[in-house]
Amino acid sequence: MPTENALKARSNTSCELCTSTENLAVFPVPPTSDLSAQQCVYLCATCTGQINGDSAIDVNHWRCLNDSMWNQEPAVQVMSYRLLHKLSAESWAQDALEMIYMEDDVKTWAEQGIAAAEREGPTKDSNGTDLQDGDDVTLIKDLKVKGANFTAKQGTMVRGITLTDNPEHIEGKVNGTRIVLVSAYLKKA
């Protein structure tokens, strides 16, 4: 409960996005959070439900982001930026996105979450097994590597892959060269 107590004090016991004072809870800011107050926000059930997709997006509810985007807490700025990005079809949200200011590291954190959310679905290998960052995979066929003048041979192990924004591609090192590989030609090791 130390995180919740810190968030209550920081937020004056109100939602850090819309200022509601009812049904508040700790919300870890994805894609990763160590559950510290610096990487969490204090949100009401309405905001949490719409962020998680449990309830429909109410565009008018999110006009509160015009205020919360100026919050000094990086976690609140990150959530405001991500939500404004999600609502960017609305002219007021687009205007707010053009005005928002964040330090470079905070903006990088915000954009990481957007990239993870925009990923169309899980990256799967040739057998339909979900792949994660850091997995080891094996090539199931010879692949000619464009621009590197070599062929990655069937059976080659690719260790510690990195997922991309496209669920059909991964990045990994083959013969000391970092390349993009089509996940359909891979098998999880």
State the Cα–Cα distance between residues 138 and 187, nearest whole angstrom. Answer: 5
For the segment 44-65, the average pLDDT, to the nearest whole number, is 90
Run of H or E including 145: strand 143-145
> Of 118, 151, 176, which one is at a domain's C-terminal end?
118
Structure token pair of residue 134: 């850091």
**107 and 148 inside one domain:** no
- Do 24 and 106 have their domain in common? yes
What is the rounded CA–CA span in Å between residue 143 and residue 158? 13
Q: Are residues 109 and 157 in the same domain?
A: no
Q: Which domain holds residue 142?
A: 137-188
If you count them, how many residues does the chain have? 189
Alpha-carbon distance 130 to 125, whole Å?
7
Cα–Cα distance, 144 to 174 (Å, whole number) = 12
**b/e 133-147 (16+ beta carbons within 10 angstroms → b):** eebebbbeeebeeee
Judge if 72 and 22 occupy the same domain. yes
Q: Are 158 and 137 in contact (CB under 8 A)?
A: yes
- Stated pTM of the model: 0.62
Mean pLDDT for 46-69 is 91
Give yes or no: residues 19 and 112 share one domain: yes
pLDDT tens-digit readout, 74-95: 999 999 999 999 898 899 999 9
Residue 60 has pLDDT above 60, yes or no: yes
pLDDT, one tens digit per residue, over 7-37 is 999 999 999 999 999 999 999 988 766 888 8
Overall number of domains in the chain: 2
* Chain-centroid distance, C-alpha 145: 30
Residues 77 and 17 in one domain: yes
How high is the mean pLDDT of the chain? 88
Task: Please give the full DSSP string across 97-127, using - where no structure is assigned.
Answer: HHH----HHHHHHHHHHHHHHH--S--B-TT
Same structural domain for residues 63 and 20? yes
